[in-house]
C-alpha cells in the first residue's frame, strides 16, 4: 500500500506546553542533576574517606573489645606490618595502594602482581620481617626502661606476625611457601586450624580465612602450578627458605623472651 501524506488543510497544529508543565519539567531536570551530582559526591567521598572510616571503625571495635591501650598497639602493629609490604612493592617498582584496615580481620595492601615469583615471596616476607624488627625494638625499649608494657608490645607484635607466617593462603606465609613448594599449603591448613584452637580464635574468622585458602589448596592438590614457578631456580628457593625460616625463628625467640617478662604466671599486663 502506498503511503500518502495528509492534505495540506489537515496538518496537525503543534502542541502547546502549559506554564505549569514547563515548571514541572524544569524541577524534574534540576532534581535529576542534583541526584547525579550527589551520586558523584557520594562515590568520591567513599573513595577518598573509606580508608579513614575503616580505620576509625577498626579502632573503635578494638577499644570496645580490649581497651584503648591494647587497641592502639594492635592498630599500630597492623599498619607497620602493612607498610612493610607497601615499601617492598615500591622497591620493586610496582604500583601499590596505601594500607587499609579491615575491622576485626586485620589489614590489607593492594599492589600489582610481580613478574617474578621470587619477588612476590619477598614482598610477602616484608610484612612479618617489619613486625620482627618492631618486636625487637619494643623488647629493646623494655630492657632500657624495665617497663612491662614494652615487653608486652614485643610479645603481641611477635605473635601477630607469627600467625601471619602460617604457610597457607591468604596469609603471607602462604605466599612465601608458594614460591618454595605449594604442597605445603595443605600442611599449613592443619597448622592454621591448630593455631586457631590454641589461641581461641573466633569461629567466624576461621571460616572466612579457611574459605579463602581452600581454592588454592585444591589447585595445588590437582598439580596446577603458577607459571612463574618455572623461572624459580634452586638457589632462589633456598634463599626464600632461609629468609622464611630465619624470620620464623626470630619471631618465636622474641615472643618467648618477651612473654616470660610481660606475663609472669601467664597473665598479660598490657591492658
pLDDT band for position 48 (50/70/90)? Answer: very low
12 falls within a domain: no
> Under a CB-based contact definition with an 8 Å cutoff, are residues 193 and 235 in contact?
no
Helix (H) or strand (E) holding 106: strand 106-108
State whether residue 67 is helix, strand or coil. Answer: coil
CA distance 174 to 127: 13
CA distance 207 to 187: 17
What mean pLDDT is predicted for residues 48-67? 70
- Per the structure, the complete domain to which residue 52 belongs is given by 28-266
Residues 133-159: pLDDT tens digits?
A: 999 999 999 999 988 889 988 998 999
231 falls within a domain: yes
Angle at 39 between CA 38 and CA 40, to 5 degrees: 90
Least confident interval from 157-166, 193-202, 213-222: 213-222
3 falls within a domain: no
83 falls within a domain: yes
CA distance 240 to 176: 7
Residue 268 in this model has a pLDDT that exceeds 60: no
Residue 8 in this model has a pLDDT that exceeds 50: no
What residues have CB less than 8 Å from 154, skipping those under 6 apart?
A: 135, 136, 138, 139, 142, 254, 255, 257, 258, 262
pLDDT score of 271 = 44
Between 267 and 140, residue with greater pLDDT:
140
22 falls within a domain: no
- Which of 108, 128, 85 has the alpha carbon at shortest distance from 245? 128
7 falls within a domain: no
Work out how many domains the chain is built from and give that number: 1
23 falls within a domain: no
Highest mean pLDDT (candidates 23-37, 154-168, 204-218): 154-168
Whether residue 170 has a cis bond before it, omega within 30° of 0: yes
14 falls within a domain: no
Amino acid at each position: 500500500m502506498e503511503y500518502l501524506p495528509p492534505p495540506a488543510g489537515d496538518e496537525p497544529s503543534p502542541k502547546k506546553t502549559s506554564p505549569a508543565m514547563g515548571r514541572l519539567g524544569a524541577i524534574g531536570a534540576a532534581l535529576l542533576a542534583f541526584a547525579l551530582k550527589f551520586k558523584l559526591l557520594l562515590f568520591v567521598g567513599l573513595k577518598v574517606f573509606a580508608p579513614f572510616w575503616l580505620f576509625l571503625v577498626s579502632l573503635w571495635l578494638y577499644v570496645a573489645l580490649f581497651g584503648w591501650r591494647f587497641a592502639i598497639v594492635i592498630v599500630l602493629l597492623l599498619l607497620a606490618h602493612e607498610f612493610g609490604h607497601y615499601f617492598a612493592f615500591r622497591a620493586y617498582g610496582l604500583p601499590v595502594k596505601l594500607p587499609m584496615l579491615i575491622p576485626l580481620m586485620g589489614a590489607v595492601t593492594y599492589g600489582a602482581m610481580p613478574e617474578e615469583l621470587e619477588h612476590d615471596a619477598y614482598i610477602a616476607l616484608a610484612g612479618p620481617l617489619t613486625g620482627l624488627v618492631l618486636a625487637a625494638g619494643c623488647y629493646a625499649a623494655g630492657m632500657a626502661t624495665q617497663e612491662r608494657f614494652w615487653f608486652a608490645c614485643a610479645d603481641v607484635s611477635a605473635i601477630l606476625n607469627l600467625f601471619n607466617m602460617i604457610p597457607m593462603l591468604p596469609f603471607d606465609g602462604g605466599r612465601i611457601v608458594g614460591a618454595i613448594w605449594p604442597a605445603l599449603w595443605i600442611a599449613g591448613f592443619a597448622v592454621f586450624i591448630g593455631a586457631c584452637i590454641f589461641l581461641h580464635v573466633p569461629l567466624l574468622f576461621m571460616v572466612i580465612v579457611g574459605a579463602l585458602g581452600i581454592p588454592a589448596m585444591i589447585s595445588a592438590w590437582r598439580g596446577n602450578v603458577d607459571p612463574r614457578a618455572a623461572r624459580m631456580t634452586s638457589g632462589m628457593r633456598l634463599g626464600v627458605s632461609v629468609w622464611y625460616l630465619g624470620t620464623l625463628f626470630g619471631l618465636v625467640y622474641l615472643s618467648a623472651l618477651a612473654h616470660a617478662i610481660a606475663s609472669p604466671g601467664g597473665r598479660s599486663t598490657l591492658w
